[in-house]
A and B are shown apart, each in its own frame.
Chain A
Amino acid sequence: MEEKTIRKDNLMSLLADLTGSCQVLAPVRKGNSIVFEEILTGDEIHLSEYNTRKSVKEVFFPQRERLFAYRGQETREPSPPDKERIVFGVRPCDARSLSLLDFVFDGEDFKDPYYCSKRDNTTVIAIGCSRPMRTCFCTDTGGDPFSLEGADVLLIDMGETYFVLPVTQRGEGFLQGKSGFERAEQDQIQRKEEIIEKARESVGSDLNIERIKSVLDSDFDNPLWETVHEKCLGCGVCTFLCPTCHCFDILDEGDSNQGERIRIWDSCMFPLFTLHASGTNPRPGGKERMRQRILHKFKYFVDNHNRVACTGCGRCIRACPVNLDIREVLEDIQNPE
């Protein structure tokens, strides 16, 4: 597909124009954090080195989602979204997380209508990371600061302009008939390569995902689990901010006459997560819960989908109240003493 460029101010006006016919979501500043919200003007968009506080997953898989409402004998399902949506300013780690969530909610065996309807009506415009942060480790998890995966269009920040790579047919469609896009010149293509190369060099550590997987395969009772969870408080920060964590709970709220069935985010770190009606809990403590979180991401998801369920976005590292750094946990697994 043809590589293009667009002046940043032209793109902002384009997005502002599109707010008439589409719902446009973009990172906006709210208090001290940056969140994905619907915008009405280009001025609201806030792009920075810092990623959004919460990941893009809530745009497709909200923390609280009504599955249906009931009153008496009648039930009412939410109507499918009527407007096309554009999510602008998604980081490649978050865009990649969507392709991982697709395995779960849009897989061969099962299609979740709530998720799929949102995915189907949304164009994802990602912006590559020219300056990855020190908590970024996307390259260790199979990603890249300029990964195309999960994005419909990838932009690369060139200063005054964005380099534009249409990734999917939907992305091609987004560019079609819109003014401001110009064919990329040879020198721009070269400069883009330099930016990509420089960013790639600055990210990553010595994690070896294959090696970690093989240790996890062979050693469920690794003594490491006894100690590695010890400082964990058992809160849900890591799983709720994680772009790939997708466990949920389904609850009925209301009474026998009226109410609703909702789906909410759940967390394997919570004591209620696997509590059985009998009172038994196969994961009674921090050790078993931490093991589950790591195994789900770096073993079970790999077994099921041949991919690790981590995009190296670093949110869990930055936000953990006790600085429990998942990279250190993985290093300990990889290099047993």
Chain B
Amino acid sequence: MNVLACVKRVPATSGRITLTADRQEIDTRFLGFTVSPHEECAVEEAVRLVEAHGGTSAVLTLGPEAAVEQLQDAMALGIERAVHLVTDGREWDPVATAEAIVEAVRAQEAAAGPFDLLLFGNEAADSGDYQVGIRVARALDRPCVTGVKRIELQDDAVEARREGPGGWEVFRVALPAVLTVKEGINLPRYPSIPGRLRAKKKPVERTVPEWRSGGLEKVRLKLPSERESEVEVLGTGAEAAPRVVEILKALGLVRA
């Protein structure tokens, strides 16, 4: 079982976002960086699959020099090697991103043998395009299941489950396959100190693909005009309960 997990370096935004003066980027001067929770789970799943079934695990990112930090985070959890497609910091649109990943996967497979599974997050935390995994699958002519929250390997196939309108939807696809996973498929482990130290010695293979446009061009970013609601404080502690019930009645949710 050879598994490749793909991740994207994004700023760790938990509070209010501010933009750079040219409105092209988020102002990251005071922010750390991470990957999407979906991708943390993709990395964890890759490690677990190899622990359970043998084989090798790799992590890939398309991102700036500093994204080596996210590759090392993944290797600290047990991923064995990394592929870094180094960018100059410019944003790549989903078409161009998928093309670069496809080229890298082909090169990796020519050198080290095929991947049975390519794992992506369901969508990137920042651009939220919902399409890179699908485009990669199409280019490589592999089946793709998205939004996966449970994986079970069966001989030459994988059974993947996702949450659908009425419950679980079950898909069974042949390997090799592409899966985009969602947070909840597992609870990722925390990296250990020895894991972090080992990660620094693991190989990172670098290539520098040429930036290209894929047809979706960012013009500028803007913050949505938020409804700044005037909050009405109904009271403090248990004493507020009668006032809350009045509100519930007004909303038609409690009928006497």
- A, B bound: no
Residues of A within 8 A of B (CB): none
